[in-house]
Amino acid sequence: MWFNQLKTIVFLATLTGMLMLIGGLFGGTQGVITSFIMALFMNGISYFYSDKIVLNMYRAKVLDKSRYGFIYDMVQDIANKANIPMPKLWLVDTPMANAFATGRDPKNASVAVTSGILGLLDQRELRGVLAHEISHIQNRDILIGTIAATIAGAIGFLANMAQRMAFWSSMSNNDRDRRNNPSVISLFLVSILMPIAATLVRLAISRSREYLADEHGAELSHDPLALASALEKLNAHIADAHLKENNGMQVATSHLFIVYPFLPKGFTALFSTHPSLQKRVAHLRKIYQDMQIGDQR
């Protein structure tokens, strides 16, 4: 678990370094501060209202306690073990089998499950999924994701300004030979490559938090194989459903779900918000083996 925490720290430090670099190239300290404030404002709105926004997007309804009392019991038990308040529970009426957690902190958290996942998983597997989502809440992954998005957004803003600056600098130069000025070319290249690199680092942070939620969720449920089985079923469901990335809403919120709602292939796998299924399942099985050894001691 400590390794994934360390990776998050390293990735966030990398993003910060990238922001300072491109800010220094373009506008110095003032450029960094300006872009950071703008990105902070935009992502601050998302941070405080993201739960309401995403739940409204999916037309989520409060989970019926009279019908799904066993889910309330599961979540209450796991929340007690995680030492956090009971989150609000929601149902999203869609055949897509998935689940997600949202909310800016444990006191304002929600867990949503889809009707598809309730029909696909047994109670043991569902408990593993719920433990994973509660781990996201306990580890404040929404906050960490917002910080990463803020820095990446600031980098994108500076890169856009740098690109415009490089373009107008080359166009306003009367001497054609000076259009190949290395500083202008370098600025233009940095403005293109830096946002791509920032996006990849932000996605790496997302993947590291998924690993951490798998680990912590397995500890809370004390049943890593249940989560592994659930992930395999969910992934198979996505493959069978032939889901395509033509749903803008699902693309925009894909980082929230326990499994990536599409099948990344080839180069697109680099831009996935989740680790590969094979790696997650193998990691969970390793956790199970370690638990077995620990129980025998």
- In DSSP notation, 83-139 reads T-PPPEEEEE--SS--EEEE-SSGGG-EEEEEHHHHHHS-HHHHHHHHHHHHHHHHT
Do residues 126 and 217 lie in contact, with contact meaning Cβ atoms separated by under 8 Å?
no
The residue among 137, 78, 66, 146 whose CA lies nearest residue 108 is 137
Does 227 score more than 90 pLDDT?
yes
Do residues 233 and 210 lie in contact, with contact meaning Cβ atoms separated by under 8 Å?
no
- pLDDT band with cut points at 50, 70 and 90 for residue 182: very low
Q: Is 268 exposed, middle or buried (0-12, 13-18, 19+ CB in 10 A)?
A: exposed
Question: What number is the average pLDDT over the span 69-84?
Answer: 97
Residues annotated as catalytic (active site), given as ranges: 133
Least confident interval from 57-66, 158-167, 207-216? 158-167
Residue 63 vs residues 37, 90, 118, 135: alpha-carbon distances, Å: 38, 5, 12, 20
pLDDT tens-digit map of 144-181: 877 777 777 777 777 777 666 666 666 655 555 444 45
Does 188 score more than 80 pLDDT?
no
> Has residue 165 been placed in a domain?
yes
Q: 283 among the known binding-site residues? A: no
pLDDT tens-digit map of 232-261: 999 998 877 654 444 556 666 777 899 988
Residue 174 is encoded by which pair of tokens?
């009367």
**How far, in Å, CA of 190 to CA of 184, rounded?**
10
User: Which residue is it, tokens 């308040």?
Assistant: 85
**How far, in Å, CA of 122 to CA of 182, rounded?**
61
Residue 245's pLDDT is 47
Q: 136 among the known binding-site residues? A: yes
Percent of the chain with pLDDT over 90: 38
Report how many domains make up the chain: 1
Question: What number is the average pLDDT over the span 212-218?
Answer: 94
Residue 65's pLDDT is 96
pLDDT tens-digit map of 277-296: 999 999 999 999 988 887 66
> Has residue 297 been placed in a domain?
no
Q: Which domain holds residue 262?
A: 2-291
CB within 8 Å of 256: residues ≥ 6 apart: 54, 100, 101, 102
Q: 216 among the known binding-site residues? A: no
CB within 8 Å of 163: residues ≥ 6 apart: 188, 191, 192
Give the three-state DSSP class for 254.
Answer: helix
Question: What number is the average pLDDT over the span 125-145?
Answer: 92
> Has residue 138 been placed in a domain?
yes
Cα R_g (the chain), whole angstroms: 22
Does 126 score more than 80 pLDDT?
yes
Q: Which residue has the higher pLDDT, 70 or 42?
A: 70
pTM for the whole structure: 0.78
- pLDDT band with cut points at 50, 70 and 90 for residue 204: confident
**How far, in Å, CA of 52 to CA of 60, rounded?**
10
Do residues 162 and 187 lie in contact, with contact meaning Cβ atoms separated by under 8 Å?
yes
Does 97 score more than 70 pLDDT?
yes
Q: Which residue has the higher pLDDT, 114 or 11?
A: 114
| Residue 84, phi then psi, degrees to nearest 5 | -130, 160
Question: What number is the average pLDDT over the span 108-130?
Answer: 96
Mean pLDDT taken over the chain: 80
> Has residue 296 been placed in a domain?
no
> Has residue 25 been placed in a domain?
yes
> Has residue 59 been placed in a domain?
yes
